[in-house]
Amino acid sequence: MDINRVNELLESFYKVFYKTEDMALKRGIKSLTHTELHIIEAIGNESVMMNELADRLGITMGTATVAISKLTEKGYIDRNRSDIDRRKVYVSLTKTGLAALSYHNNYHKMIMASITESIPKEDLNIFVHVFEIILKSLKNKTAYFKPMTINDFPAGTKVSIVEIKGTPIVQNYFAEHGIENFAVLRILPSKDKEMFSLEKSDGTVLNINVLDAKNLIGIETE
């Protein structure tokens, strides 16, 4: 099987599909970006907790918070704290947000009907079957790509840093020690439960406090 050809076809499909989606956006909902529209789609008709939304989108809480703040300012999202637990924040779509969701869903139905109308039913059934297998396999891999604090990875894991949280002092500390976004670190065993040991790409080891380590968000890498 030619994996390169499969990759080329999938990449070409997504590029053309997203291009047409962007064109539809500019024609119908000019104030939204492609990414913002997909956040609206992830919320749907529900009232969703922020951490659950971040999980659905496969992004960190920090990234989700910034995106939700922008959508709230644009009038597409309502953000409310739970009356029972003030630490919990729920987001839902406003009337404007629901209209954008409806526009997006109708576009998807229209474009899919248009591009499949000339495909024989038998061929379309085969495509659906194969794509369901691909999708199932991809879902099984999502845990591998999910961002987590490095404390949550077992010793021996190689992690690529995707976000550095904390105060400017904490962020500067990591920068001074060569730990920035996309830095690859190997988590080493540590005898001290209060300390965390990280091997950098140059082979040097950095020992940091467990609490400081929680500011480093990463995904598993090979």
Q: Give the model confidence (pLDDT) of 73-91 as tens digits.
A: 999 999 988 887 877 889 9
CA distance 37 to 100: 8
The superfamily CATH assigns to domain 148-221 is: Ferrous iron transport protein A (FeoA) (2.30.30.90)
Report domain extents, the chain. 3-144, 148-221
pLDDT tens digit string along 18-60? Answer: 888 778 777 777 788 888 888 999 999 999 999 899 888 878 8
**Is residue 43 a contact partner of residue 91, using CB atoms and an 8 Å limit?**
yes
Yes or no: domain 3-144 corresponds to CATH 1.10.10.10: yes
User: Residue 163 pairs with which residues in a beta bridge?
Assistant: 217
* pTM, entire model: 0.57
Question: What's residue 30's pLDDT?
Answer: 75
Please determine whether the domains at 3-144 and 148-221 fall in the same fold group of CATH.
no
CA distance 163 to 63: 9
**Mean pLDDT estimate for the chain:** 88
CA distance 79 to 50: 9
CA distances from 159 to 6, 113, 133, 219 (A): 28, 42, 28, 5
Question: pLDDT band for position 96 (50/70/90)?
Answer: very high
Q: Is the pLDDT of residue 170 over 90?
A: no
